[in-house]
Amino acid sequence: MWEGFVPDESVFTGVLAACSHQGLLELGIRLFSLMVRDYSIAPALVHFKCLIALLTRAGQLDSAEQLLNEMPYHPDEVAWVTLLAGCSSHFDVGRASYATCNSSALHVLLGNVYDQQTFQMSF
């Protein structure tokens, strides 16, 4: 980081979100570790959700689901939607069904996953 600049929770949230959107998996994981180890910032739910998004976009759905279930916070609907979006992108219908068990609002998204799977199989 820059000399004299001390990043806070908000800075790391923005940087982790940027890593997620750019697909920078390794950098995002290193920055998360740096946040905890070097800056002694306790990760908030939003930091874990950024990591879940990072993992799902990279196709690492097993790791994303494991993090969602093992993080020290109760997953909110945004966390489940993030996992479900990854399931849709990577055609993981079984995991998508599991993700929707945690929220009735997610069943519409599950329908989209099934539609994607059907469309993909028609080619």
DSSP, collapsed to helix, strand or coil, labels residue 123 as coil
Tokens 């930091």 belong to residue: 47
Alpha-carbon distance 98 to 62, whole Å?
A: 12
What is the total residue count of the chain?
123
- The Cβ-side half-sphere exposure at 118, using a 13 Å CA radius, reads 6
Q: Give the closest residue to 39 by CA, choosing from 75, 83, 4, 9.
A: 9
Q: What is the pLDDT of residue 123?
A: 55
DSSP code for 91 = T
Residues 21-59 pLDDT 10s? 999 999 999 999 999 999 999 999 999 999 999 999 999
**pLDDT tens across 54-97, in order?**
999 999 999 999 999 999 999 998 999 899 889 888 888 888 77
CA distance 87 to 2: 38
